[in-house]
Amino acid sequence: MKHWHLFLAFFRVGILGYGGGPSSIPLVQKEAVGRYRWLNDEEFGDILALGNTLPGPIATKMAGYIGYRVAGVFGAVTATFATVLPTVCLMVVLLTVFTSFKDLTWVAGATKGVTPVVGVMLAMLAFDFFNKARTGGLGLRNTVILLLASFVALTVLRVHPGALIAGLLLLAIVQPDKEK
């Protein structure tokens, strides 16, 4: 049953994620946190952050780890296969059977329609993380400071996202614990 749910969840993620791995992030959150409650938002954030610091495709890393958490090694295999296999099969079949598919204008148009929707979902998720940081213990002032610092580091100083996250994680470890 666990495996069936894992398969269903990540099959939906794979088949609805237009625009590559990053566009499937809000869908993974919806399934794993919202529908099946395999994780809470905090754990999802950790996975996303670590996934961003490690190389390789993000969607399969998230699927594989969540599958592993839910049902061990076979869970990881189930979730990864469900994310990847349906669309790979589609790709192989379409490319070998008829190559004119991508020239069909309505197919190209349909895919373009999804782009703003993905933007909205990502923006909503971004706002969620902002809120979670604020209410989770950082407070409004520190959250805004970290937010602006991250923005400047990523855009003006062009620090690599992986390096920024790794640096923050390191700082959090080095910082001595406060006595309560």
52-71 residues in contact with another protein (CB under 8 A) are 52-61, 64-65, 68
Q: Which has the closest alpha carbon to 130: 121, 142, 120, 119?
A: 142
Shortest distance, CB of residue 1 to another protein, whole angstroms?
21
Total chain residues near another protein (CB under 8 A): 100
Kindly tell me which of 4 and 45 has the beta carbon lying closer to another protein. Answer: 45
Q: Terminus-to-terminus CA distance in the chain, angstroms?
A: 44
Long-range Cβ pairs for the range 126-131 (8 Å, 24+) = 128/41, 129/45
The yes or no reply on residue 139 touching another protein (CB under 8 A) is no
Shortest distance, CB of residue 81 to another protein, whole angstroms?
9
73-92 residues in contact with another protein (CB under 8 A) are 76, 80, 83-84, 86-88, 90-92
Kindly tell me which of 1 and 141 has the beta carbon lying closer to another protein. Answer: 141
7-46 residues in contact with another protein (CB under 8 A) are 12, 14-27, 30, 42, 45-46
Kindly tell me which of 1 and 99 has the beta carbon lying closer to another protein. Answer: 99
The DSSP symbol for 176 reads P
Kindly tell me which of 2 and 15 has the beta carbon lying closer to another protein. Answer: 15
Interior CA angle at 67 toward 61 and 73, to 5°? 100
Q: Which amino acid is at 14?
A: G
- Torsion over CA: 152, 154, 158, 163 (sign): positive
Shortest distance, CB of residue 7 to another protein, whole angstroms?
14
Report the b/e string of 53-83 with b at 16+ CB within 10 A: eeeeebbbbbbbbbbbbbbeeebbbbbbbbb
90-129 residues in contact with another protein (CB under 8 A) are 90-92, 94-95, 99, 101-102, 105-127, 129
Shortest distance, CB of residue 36 to another protein, whole angstroms?
14
CA distance 41 to 127: 13
